[in-house]
């Protein structure tokens, strides 16, 4: 007997097939558009749109800059499907709800999944605007009791999913060839390890220091549950690209109020500045500014995937 997951995924696919022209029923590549990539829809030829709300089992995205629409169309002449806006655990979506659309895209038969996101840089060598092709991740919630695959086994899907090569080396290679196609300067792209945190708070200084000490290059609140679900679903090639929208400042020390009080009592003016903070607006602005570069890169990767 089919599992509950199989039944709901089949219902979602039936709704998609009923609403979308047959030419788009088997997209080659699926793309998840994070903050900054939703303009990808403008690049699709002959697009067909389907709101998440009209697909059974799809939750709706509630974040500014995330539309909540599935877009089908041709990118670089190749049929693709794009999630314009993604679901995040911090919105209150349970992990199975976050993963469900990915499972549906996987079952449409996509050969490759390209995920994009906005992230903060912990590696001080990464400038704002850099496109970081992920080669590994650190799933803090996953290690600590919030793994996306917790729950009953879903045969025939694997119970224990290896993630040693979760990020396709072949697709990552195409990303750097695509960057060369576009004439991007060397510093426009990098490789790195992504830390998934649940958010919605940004990191405290101690948390930033902790993640950096663990070898993390960029940090964000998405992507990893989707990567894990896609790998369990057996999507042949998964890649993720982070757009660095802000540095995560890791101060050497901290502002010592005790020292300030001692100086104050000694009649000396305070000299220690307050710490910098990150804002969601800053994240969205860099997304708008650098989104087109990310879009061109994804388009060139799709062209290269299609060329085989």
Is residue 263 helix, strand or coil? helix
Active site residue 279: no
Active site residue 91: yes
Instruction: Count Cα atoms within 13 angstroms, Cβ side, for 222.
Output: 25
- Asked if 98 touches ligand 6GU (CB under 6 A), the answer is no
Least Cβ distance, residue 280 to ligand 6GU (angstroms) = 8
DSSP state, 56? Answer: T
Pick between residue 168 and residue 246 the one whose CB is nearest to ligand 6GU.
Answer: 246
Active site residue 3: no
- Asked if 193 touches ligand 6GU (CB under 6 A), the answer is no
Least Cβ distance, residue 178 to ligand 6GU (angstroms) = 23
Active site residue 280: yes
Among 76, 219, 230, 235, binds ligand 6GU (CB under 6 A): 219
Pick between residue 38 and residue 245 the one whose CB is nearest to ligand 6GU.
Answer: 245
Closest-CA residue to 293 (of 173, 132, 82, 129): 129
Which residues, 6 or more positions from 115, have their beta carbon under 8 angstroms from its beta carbon?
A: 31, 32, 34, 223, 226, 227, 238, 239, 240, 241
Q: In this structure, how many other beta carbons lie within 10 angstroms of the beta carbon of residue 252? A: 6
201 in Cβ contact with 280 (< 8 Å): no
DSSP state, 158? Answer: -
Active site residue 246: yes
- Asked if 217 touches ligand 6GU (CB under 6 A), the answer is no
44 in Cβ contact with 15 (< 8 Å): no
Among 248, 293, 298, 305, binds ligand 6GU (CB under 6 A): 248
- Asked if 120 touches ligand 6GU (CB under 6 A), the answer is yes
Closest-CA residue to 221 (of 209, 246, 203): 203
d(CA 52, CA 101): 9
Token couple for 119: 């992230």
Q: Cβ-closest residue to ligand 6GU?
A: 120
Among 33, 99, 118, 149, binds ligand 6GU (CB under 6 A): 118
Pick between residue 10 and residue 278 the one whose CB is nearest to ligand 6GU.
Answer: 278
Pick between residue 75 and residue 224 the one whose CB is nearest to ligand 6GU.
Answer: 224
Closest-CA residue to 135 (of 244, 216, 29, 230): 216
- Asked if 203 touches ligand 6GU (CB under 6 A), the answer is yes
Active site residue 281: no
- Asked if 283 touches ligand 6GU (CB under 6 A), the answer is yes
d(CA 229, CA 274): 41
Is residue 23 helix, strand or coil? helix
Active site residue 233: no
Pick between residue 8 and residue 223 the one whose CB is nearest to ligand 6GU.
Answer: 223
Active site residue 88: yes
- Asked if 278 touches ligand 6GU (CB under 6 A), the answer is yes
- Asked if 220 touches ligand 6GU (CB under 6 A), the answer is yes
For 175, list phi and psi in degrees, rounded to 5.
Answer: -60, -40
* Catalytic-labelled residue, pool 30, 38, 66, 93: 66
For binding to ligand 6GU (CB under 6 A), which residues are involved? 118-120, 197, 199, 202-203, 219-221, 245-246, 248, 278, 283
Enzyme catalytic residues: 35, 66, 88, 90-91, 118, 221-222, 246, 280
């Amino acid at each position: 007997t089919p599992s509950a997951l199989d039944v709901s995924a089949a219902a979602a696919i039936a709704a998609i097939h009923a609403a979308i022209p047959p030419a788009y029923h088997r997209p080659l590549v699926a793309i998840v558009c994070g903050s900054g990539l939703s303009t990808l829809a403008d690049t699709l030829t002959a697009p067909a749109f389907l709101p998440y709300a009209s697909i059974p089992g799809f939750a709706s995205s509630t974040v500014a800059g995330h539309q909540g629409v599935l877009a089908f169309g041709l990118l670089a002449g190749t049929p693709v499907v794009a999630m314009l806006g993604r679901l995040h655990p911090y919105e209150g979506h349970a992990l199975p709800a976050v993963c469900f659309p990915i499972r549906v895209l996987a079952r449409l038969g996509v050969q490759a999944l390209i995920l994009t996101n906005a992230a903060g840089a912990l590696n001080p060598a990464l400038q704002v605007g850099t496109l970081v092709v992920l080669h590994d991740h650190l799933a803090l919630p996953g290690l600590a009791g919030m793994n996306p695959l917790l729950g009953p086994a879903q045969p025939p899907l694997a119970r224990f999913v290896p993630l040693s090569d979760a990020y396709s080396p072949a697709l990552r290679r195409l990303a750097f060839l695509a960057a060369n196609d576009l004439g991007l300067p060397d510093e426009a792209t990098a490789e790195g390890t992504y830390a998934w945190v649940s958010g919605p708070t940004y990191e405290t200084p101690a948390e930033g220091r902790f993640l950096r000490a663990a070898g993390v290059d960029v940090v964000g609140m998405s992507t990893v549950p989707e990567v894990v679900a896609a790998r369990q679903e057996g999507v042949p090639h998964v890649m993720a690209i982070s757009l660095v929208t802000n540095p995560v400042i890791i101060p050497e020390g901290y502002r010592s109020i005790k020292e300030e009080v001692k100086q104050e009592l000694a009649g000396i003016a305070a000299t220690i500045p307050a710490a910098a903070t990150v804002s969601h607006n800053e994240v969205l602005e860099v997304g708008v500014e650098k989104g087109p570069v990310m879009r061109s890169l994804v388009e060139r990767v799709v062209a290269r995937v299609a060329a085989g």
